[in-house]
Amino acid sequence: MYPAENVGRSLLPASPTALPQMSYDEFKQMLGGLRGKPVLVNFWASWCSPCKQEAPVLAQMAKQYAGKVQFVGVDVADQPAEARAYIHKYGWTYPSVADPKYEIRRGFGLLGQPDTILYDASGKQVWQAPGAITEASLKTRLSHLTAS
């Protein structure tokens, strides 16, 4: 579960390509501000082949679930120019933060990327998937979280 502090206060980056560098603690604070809506966190890098495989799926699902699920990317050990080009190439509409020294990834206990974590509206982790995700698996998880 992510922390409850900053609930209702958005610390999200202003644009998909802003890519502010964040510490693990800052990232967890940002997640706390998102409580009240399901959140999908995806760890990625422009140089990662499986990340390229899942990038179009993430773009499509983020658009389909806009307003219902907040997508957030964590760009791991990347160069800013390459990361921004990647975001543009795949048409991502959601923000990412930079994790140049693996601090956020390590804080989550992850070893590589891509890795995707899904939280429900209360901030409880409900799913984690290492490796490239498929449209079918992601759609199933998101539809269960957003069904009302």
Known catalytic residue: 51? Answer: yes
Q: Is 140 helix (H, G, I), strand (E, B) or coil?
A: helix
CA distances from 4 to 15, 39, 71, 83, 117 (A): 24, 14, 18, 30, 18
Active-site annotation holder among 48, 58, 117, 142: 48
Indicate the helix (H) or strand (E) that contains 4.
none
Provide the angle, in degrees to the nearest 10, between the axes of the packed helices 49-64 and 80-90: 50
Assess whether the previous peptide bond of 20 is cis (omega < 30° from 0).
no
Active-site annotation holder among 30, 31, 45, 51: 51
Active site residues: 48, 51
